[in-house]
């Protein structure tokens, strides 16, 4: 039944036949409803998870993460072998990194990509071999670079002329030898939010193609640096392969030119592979991505008369994103009449932008479903909002939820495995939630949740605490 609020719905959102359904591809493959209509993930019910750990709660399906990591590795291995080369898959830790996930990646044959000293510390604490790490970042400090060289990070992706000189000084002082890739800007603009697109010229990452050749020449002059190849990343949440094809073609022109001055062993084409956040999203299957991208590189190399380099890729979101589901408890509901006369239902939950900043940052769209039972009411256009003191604290902008939803119900938001935990904050002094891995009917804490005491522990004014000398 269409309600007056339907005039507020975006064109892509249609009224579902069943407001309790779980759209294929948006949820972990293990997500089902049990006989009582309760959401179940990997054999663990949402109600049991909420009773044990409270809400908000980030739930991660371990088998979903491992399975997608394995699919990426096998797909790129097969595609590379079919085109007479090899491929390495790095897990992009910025999507969500903790020691447990890092170990899962190593178990599945992946390497790990980090972009700060903190992420490097997590990977090392997990026991990841330094030689299998890649280190990104547009402003790596001297201390971060010194640590990376000291532990033997496999590859540092250099992002500026200043960074090259920092590495030159470090390797000269220590006598170390360090492999580096040069990050280049291909000029291919991903069809995504401007803040997610990283290959257009007017942004902070990498060297424009004309300047990259000079950067490589400088690296080749430095005894302690080993030029290992080029790196390019065109953005995030990308569907299809057209952007990857065009970017690879432009970078291969530079690659071919650089071969005249010495070897260029590796080409890293980054990541950015998209996932489904709503039922209308249609991400490209992993195997199709691998086959098409690697074949386009091989074709480009053949056209230029050069050998196919070793290839590298950096999926992150596409490995962990779909595996994550966030559970909230509904606190209040409110019907608001807007200027057109239509009525929008606001559903407030006990989390928000402190555990998922993406809607506020990027206008990201999500889905939601009642998780503690099956609703019996008609689909009602709703907006799920958080508890923070911001009008932009939106969790799910547009979704059809059963109109019998009431305070105390559990609400589940899928596809929250990537970028929610890393971007989490203590805004309004709200503690960050725990992360729970589920597998075969069991649940395990992999990131402990915070308490209010944890949040207050940093406040130097409590209990007469005195600030350190020099900081007053």
> Which residues form the catalytic set?
389
Backbone angles phi, psi at 117, to 5 degrees: -65, -35
For tokens 């908000």, name the residue: 56
Structure-token pair, residue 453: 């005491």
For 358-412, give the DSSP string: HHHHH------EE-SS---SPEEEEEEE-SSS-TT-EEEEEEEEETT--TT-EEE
Please state, in angstroms and rounded to a whole number, the distance separating the CA atoms of residues 57 and 39. Answer: 14
Cα dihedral sign for 47, 52, 53, 54? positive
231, 176 in Cβ contact below 8 A?
no
Q: Which two tokens stand for residue 37?
A: 């209509």
Rounded Cα–Cα distance for residues 117 and 134 (Å): 12
- Closest C-alpha to 199, from 244, 166, 232, 238: 232
* Residues 348-367 as b or e (16 or more Cβ within 10 Å = b): bbbbbbbbbbbbbebebbbb
In this structure, the dihedral spanned by the alpha carbons of residues 226, 230, 235 and 241, taken in order and rounded to 10 degrees, is -140
- DSSP per-residue codes, 226-242: EEEEEE----SSB-SSH
- Compute the distance between CA of residue 360 and CA of residue 318 in angstroms, rounded to an integer: 21
What's CA 54's distance to the chain center, in Å? Answer: 25
């Amino acid at each position: 039944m269409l309600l007056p609020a339907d005039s507020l719905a975006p064109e892509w959102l249609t009224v579902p036949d069943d407001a309790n359904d779980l759209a294929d591809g948006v949820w972990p493959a293990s997500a089902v409803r049990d006989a009582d209509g309760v959401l179940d993930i990997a054999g663990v019910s949402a109600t049991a998870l909420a009773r044990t750990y409270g809400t908000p709660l980030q739930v991660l399906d371990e088998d979903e993460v491992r399975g997608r990591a394995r699919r990426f590795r096998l797909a790129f291995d097969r595609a590379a072998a079919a085109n007479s080369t090899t491929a390495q898959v790095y897990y992009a830790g910025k999507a969500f990194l903790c020691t447990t996930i890092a170990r899962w990646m190593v178990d599945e044959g992946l390497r790990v990509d980090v972009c700060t000293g903190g992420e490097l510390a997590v990977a090392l604490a997990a026991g990841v071999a330094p030689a299998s790490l890649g280190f990104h970042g547009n402003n790596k400090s001297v201390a971060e670079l010194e640590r990376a060289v000291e532990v033997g990070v496999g590859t540092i992706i250099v992002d500026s002329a200043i960074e090259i000189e920092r590495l030159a000084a470090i390797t000269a002082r220590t006598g170390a030898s360090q492999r580096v890739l040069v990050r280049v800007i291909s000029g291919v603009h991903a069809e995504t939010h401007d803040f997610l697109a990283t290959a257009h010229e007017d942004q902070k990452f990498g060297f424009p193609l004309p300047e990259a050749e000079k950067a490589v020449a400088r690296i080749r002059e430095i005894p302690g640096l080993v030029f290992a190849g080029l790196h390019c990343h065109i953005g995030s949440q990308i569907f299809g392969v057209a952007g990857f094809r065009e970017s690879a073609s432009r970078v291969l022109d530079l690659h071919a030119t650089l071969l005249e001055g010495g070897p260029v062993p590796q080409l890293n084409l980054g990541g950015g592979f998209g996932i489904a956040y709503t039922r209308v999203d249609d991400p490209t299957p992993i195997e199709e991505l691998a086959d098409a991208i690697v074949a386009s590189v091989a074709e480009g190399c053949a056209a230029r008369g050069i050998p196919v380099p070793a290839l590298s890729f950096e999926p992150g979101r596409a490995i962990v994103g779909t595996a994550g589901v966030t559970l909230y408890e509904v606190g209040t509901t409110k019907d608001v009449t807007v200027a057109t006369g239509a009525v929008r239902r606001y559903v407030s939950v006990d989390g928000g932008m402190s555990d998922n900043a993406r809607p506020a940052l990027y206008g990201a769209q999500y889905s939601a479903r009642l998780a503690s039972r099956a609703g019996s009411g008609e689909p009602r256009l709703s907006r799920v909002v958080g508890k923070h003191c911001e009008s932009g604290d939106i969790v799910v902008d547009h979704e059809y939820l059963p109109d019998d939803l009431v305070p105390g119900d559990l609400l589940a938001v899928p596809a929250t495995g990537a970028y929610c935990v890393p971007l989490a904050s203590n805004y309004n002094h709200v503690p960050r939630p725990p992360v729970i891995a589920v597998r075969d009917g069991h649940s395990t804490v992999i990131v402990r949740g915070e308490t209010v005491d944890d949040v207050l522990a940093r406040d130097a004014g409590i209990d007469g605490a005195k600030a350190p000398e020099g900081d007053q």
